[in-house]
Amino acid sequence: MQLRKLFFSIGIGTTVGIVLSLLACNAGESTSSFAEKVNDLLTEELGAGGPGGAVLILKNDEVVFSEGYGTANLETGEVITTKTLFNLGSISKTFVSNGILLLQERGKLSVEDPLSAYFPDFAHPEIAQKIKISHLLTHTSGLPDNRQVSRDPEFYLTAKDEENWAPELLVDSLNFAPGTNYQYSNPAFNGLALIIEQVSGQKWQDFIIENIIRPSGMASSTITDGPHPESGVAHAYVQGDGGQWAEDDYGEEPTFAAAGNGGVWSTVEELARYEQALRAAVFLPAAVIENSRTPKNDLPVKALSCLEDRTWNLGYSWFISQTDSGVKLVGHSGTQGGFYANYIAVPDQQILFVMLANFPCDRQKISLQIMQWIEEELFETAD
| Domain regions of the chain by residue span | 34-378
pLDDT, residue 150, reads: 85
| CA pair distance 203, 118, nearest whole angstrom | 16
| CA pair distance 11, 131, nearest whole angstrom | 41
| CA pair distance 292, 101, nearest whole angstrom | 9
pLDDT, residue 381, reads: 83
pTM of the model: 0.91
pLDDT, residue 30, reads: 60
| CA pair distance 208, 5, nearest whole angstrom | 26
Burial profile 225-264: b = 16 or more Cβ within 10 angstroms, e = fewer:
eeebeeeebbbbbbeeeeeebebbbbebbbbbbbbbbbbb
| CA pair distance 364, 59, nearest whole angstrom | 21
| CA pair distance 113, 162, nearest whole angstrom | 20
DSSP letter string over 53-102? EEEEEEETTEEEEEEEESEEETTTTEEP-TT-BEE-GGGHHHHHHHHHHH
pLDDT, residue 304, reads: 65
Amino acid letter for position 382 = A
Give average pLDDT by consecutive 10-residue segment, the chain, 383 residues. 44 31 42 90 93 98 96 96 97 98 98 98 97 98 92 89 96 97 96 98 98 98 85 92 90 88 97 98 98 94 78 95 95 96 97 98 96 95 70
Are 117 and 133 in contact, with CB atoms under 8 Å apart?
no
Are 89 and 336 in contact, with CB atoms under 8 Å apart?
yes
| CA pair distance 196, 263, nearest whole angstrom | 15
| CA pair distance 312, 331, nearest whole angstrom | 10
Topology (CATH level 3) of domain 34-378: Beta-lactamase (3.40.710)
| CA pair distance 38, 30, nearest whole angstrom | 12
Query: How far is residue 173 CA from its own chain's centroid?
Result: 30
Q: In angstroms, what CA-CA distances link 357 with 185, 230, 327, 341?
A: 23, 19, 27, 6
